[in-house]
Amino acid sequence: MDFKEHIIEKIIKLTELERTIVENAVEVPPDEKMGDLAFPCFPLAKIMHKAPPVIAQELSKKLSDDDMIDKVQPAGGYLNFFFNRERFISETVGEIEKAPEKWGMSNEGEGKTVLCEYSSPNIAKPFHIGHLFSTAVGNSLARIYKQLGYNVQSLNHLGDWGTQFGKLISAYKRWGDREVIEKDPINELLKIYVKFHDEAEEHPELEDEARGYFKKLEDGDEEMTELWSYFREISLVEYKRVYELLGVEFDSYNGEAFYSDKMDEVVDILRDKGLLVESEGAQVVDLSEEGMPPCIILKSNGATIYATRDIAAALYRHRTYNFDKNIYVVGNPQKLHFRQFLTAMKKAGWKWADDCIHVGFGLVRFGGKNLSTRHGDVVLLEDVLRESIDKTREIIRKNNSNVDDIEDASRKIGIGAIFYTFLHSTREKDIDLNWETILDFEGESGPYCQYGYARGRSILRRAEGINFKNADFSKTVSDEEYSLVKHLNGFYDAVKIAADKNEPFYINRYVTNLTKAFNKFYNTNPILKDDVDEETKKARLALVSVTTEVIKSALYLLGIETVESM
C-alpha cells in the first residue's frame, strides 16, 4: 500500500479539492521530526475564507487515525502526517525482500531508446581527466536509464578523424618507430604529436605537409588510410584496456571517421533548404537571429569539420535507433558548439533535434592545478587510476583490513573512489580533486559507502543460519530504524530525479545518506549481542540484509563495485 496515495485520498475525501491540487501540494517536511508528509492548507484559504492555521486545526480534528497513520498534527498552516512505523517498515522491507534486484526499478522506459554518448577521447591527443569526467557521468546515466527500463545504447564518439591525423602521419613518417609505439601506443603517439607541434613552431611548412596528408586521407589514399587505421586500432586496444579497468562498456565505437562518407548528404540537405550561406569563403548556417556565431559546415577549402560530422552523426542515429533521447556527455567548453549544430538542425526542420541533449559538466582541476592540454603537461587518465589503486592498496595494508583479494579490492575501491568524487556534486560545478578527499574512508566518499556495505555483509556472515524472513517489526521502530527504512523507500525517487535532470549526483547523495542512516542504525541498535531477543535480532538482520542490497544497487548506478569485506 502506498502511504502517500492513502493520505492524498483522505485529504480529497475531506476537502473535495481536485486531485492534482492535492497531489502537487503534499510534500515531505524539511525535518523528520515534523512528520512523514505534510499538506499545506494554503490552497483552501480562498475557498473556505479562513486562515490556513485555522483550517489546519479544523481538518486535523476531522481526520481520524487509522492503521496506516499514527497521528495527524496541525502546525501553523500545515497538516503533518505521521505514518504507522511498524506497518511502513514491514511493508517496505517485505517489498524489497521479494525482489531485491528490482527495487528502485521501473518499466516506464519500455519500448523507448536512449542513446548515451560519453568518454569519446581523441586519438593522438591526451586521454585526459576531462574524458574521465565524461565517462563517469555517461556510464552512470546509461545505468540509470536502464534501471528505468529504457533500451540504452552507450556510444563512444571517438575523435578519430580531422586535421590532427595529417599531423600525426607527418610526425610518424619523420620520427615514428613501430616497435617503440607498440609498447605504449597512446603515450608514444602523443609524444610524436607534441613533437610535431614544437617543430612546426619553427618550421611552419610542416603544417602544410600535414594538411596535405589529411586531404589525401580524406580522398581515400591507400597509404594514408592504412596508417590511419593502424593508429586507430592500436589506440583502441589501449582505450579498451582502460575501460575494462573502469568496468565501463560501449555498444559502439563509431567515431567521427565513421561519418566521413555521410556528410555530403548533410551538405545537400542544408543547401536544398536554403540554409547554407557563404561567409569568408566558407559555407555556414547563419545563426545571428539566435544570437550565435554561424555554424560552419564547409571550410573555405571545401573540407568538412567537427560540426558537419556531428550533424551527420545525429541524422544517422535518428535513422538507426529512432531514439527517444540522444544524450551527449561533453564538457561545458563545447556548449556553444552543441547549441550551434543543434540549432542548425532545428532550422532544417528536424523536430527530433529537440530530443538531442547536451549534458555538460564543469572543469576539473587536480590539487588546485589547472589542467592544460598543451605540450603534454596534462594529468593523464591512466596515471590517475593507477595512483588511486596504489594509494588504496597502501591504505588497506596500513589499516590491516581483512580483504579477500587485495588486488581486486584495491581496484574496486580505488576506481570507485574516483567515480564517486566526480559524481559528488552537480555536474556543472567545477571540481578540484585531491587524494585526501577521494580516499577519505571516513568522510563522504566511495570507500565510506563501500565500507558500509562490507560492514553489513560481515554482520550477515556472522548471522549465518538465522532465518530472518517475515520478521516481526513491532519492536524495531526506533528513530534510527525508521529513518533507515525511509531512506530505503526513497530509492526510486532518487533514480527518477537523476534521470529527469540527467544528474547522477542525486544517486550519489542518496547512497551517501543511506549509508549514513545505516551507520547510525547499527551504532545505536545492537544486532547480534546476546541480550537482544530473537524477534528483534531477526528484524534487525532483515534491515541489514535489505540495506546492503540497496547500497549495492545504488553504487552500481554510479559505476562503483562493492567488496565483501574491507
Just list the catalytic residues: 125, 128, 131
- Site residues for ligand ARG, 304-323, by CB under 6 A, read 310
Q: To which H or E segment does residue 244 belong?
A: helix 222-246
Place of cell 510534500: 27
CB atoms inside a 10 Å sphere around CB 470:
11
What x-and-dash track marks residues 256-295 binding ligand ARG by CB under 6 A?
----------------------------------------
Strand partners, 329: 359
Q: Is 412 in the site for ligand ARG (CB under 6 A)?
A: no
* Residue whose CB is less far from ligand ARG, 115 or 498: 115
Q: How far is the CB of 120 from ligand ARG (least distance, A)?
A: 4
Select from 455, 382, 444, 388 the least CA-distant residue to 416.
Answer: 388
Backbone angles phi, psi at 250, to 5 degrees: -125, 150
- Site residues for ligand ARG, 474-533, by CB under 6 A, read none
What x-and-dash track marks residues 100-139 binding ligand ARG by CB under 6 A?
-----------------x--xxx-----------------
Side-chain half-sphere of 318: how many Cα atoms within 13 Å? 14
Look at the alpha carbons of 270, 275, 278, 281 in this order and tell me if their dihedral is positive or negative: negative
Q: How far is the CB of 183 from ligand ARG (least distance, A)?
A: 25
Dmax over CA atoms of the chain, in Å, equals 88
> By beta-carbon distance, which residue lies closest to ligand ARG?
159
Instruction: Show Cβ contacts of residue 74 under 8 Å, excluding neighbours closer than 6 positions.
Output: 53, 56, 57, 59, 60, 80
* Residue whose CB is less far from ligand ARG, 190 or 330: 330
* Residue whose CB is less far from ligand ARG, 71 or 335: 335
Q: How far is the CB of 156 from ligand ARG (least distance, A)?
A: 9
Q: How far is the CB of 36 from ligand ARG (least distance, A)?
A: 44
* Residue whose CB is less far from ligand ARG, 122 or 139: 122
Q: How far is the CB of 121 from ligand ARG (least distance, A)?
A: 6
Per CB under 6 A, the list member of 328, 468, 505, 521 interacting with ligand ARG is 328
Alpha-carbon distance values, 43 to 6, 17, 25, 283 (Å): 20, 9, 8, 57
413: left (phi over 0), alpha (psi -120 to 50) or beta: alpha
Query: Which segments of 75-162 does DSSP mark as H helices, in order?
Result: 85-98, 129-147
* Residue whose CB is less far from ligand ARG, 8 or 327: 327
- Alpha-carbon gap, residue 296 to 284, rounded angstroms: 4
Alpha-carbon distance values, 399 to 385, 452, 453 (Å): 21, 16, 18
Cα 166 → chain centroid: 35
Q: How far is the CB of 24 from ligand ARG (least distance, A)?
A: 38
Q: How far is the CB of 282 from ligand ARG (least distance, A)?
A: 19
* Residue whose CB is less far from ligand ARG, 86 or 310: 310
Q: How far is the CB of 358 from ligand ARG (least distance, A)?
A: 9
* Residue whose CB is less far from ligand ARG, 309 or 538: 309
* Residue whose CB is less far from ligand ARG, 69 or 115: 115
Residue type at 140? S
- Alpha-carbon gap, residue 465 to 225, rounded angstroms: 64
Per CB under 6 A, the list member of 10, 85, 143, 157 interacting with ligand ARG is 157
- Alpha-carbon gap, residue 155 to 430, rounded angstroms: 25
Q: How far is the CB of 447 from ligand ARG (least distance, A)?
A: 30
Q: To which H or E segment does residue 73 belong?
A: strand 69-75
Per CB under 6 A, the list member of 35, 104, 159, 414 interacting with ligand ARG is 159
* Residue whose CB is less far from ligand ARG, 122 or 515: 122
Q: What is the CA radius of gyration of the chain?
A: 28
With CB under 6 A, what is the number of residues at the site for ligand ARG?
9
Spell out a b/e string for 35-64, using b for 16 or more CB atoms within 10 Å of the CB, else e.
Answer: bbbbbebebbeeeeeeebeebbebbbeebe
Q: How far is the CB of 399 from ligand ARG (least distance, A)?
A: 38
Instruction: Show Cβ contacts of residue 284 under 8 Å, excluding neighbours closer than 6 positions.
Output: 276, 277, 278, 294, 295, 296, 297
Spell out a b/e string for 313-324, using b for 16 or more CB atoms within 10 Å of the CB, else e.
Answer: bbbbbbeeeebb
Backbone angles phi, psi at 185, to 5 degrees: -55, -50
- Alpha-carbon gap, residue 183 to 237, rounded angstroms: 12
Per CB under 6 A, the list member of 296, 330, 385, 418 interacting with ligand ARG is 330
Look at the alpha carbons of 447, 452, 457, 462 in this order and tell me if their dihedral is positive or negative: positive
* Residue whose CB is less far from ligand ARG, 328 or 506: 328
The binding site for ligand ARG (CB under 6 A) comprises 117, 120-122, 157, 159, 310, 328, 330
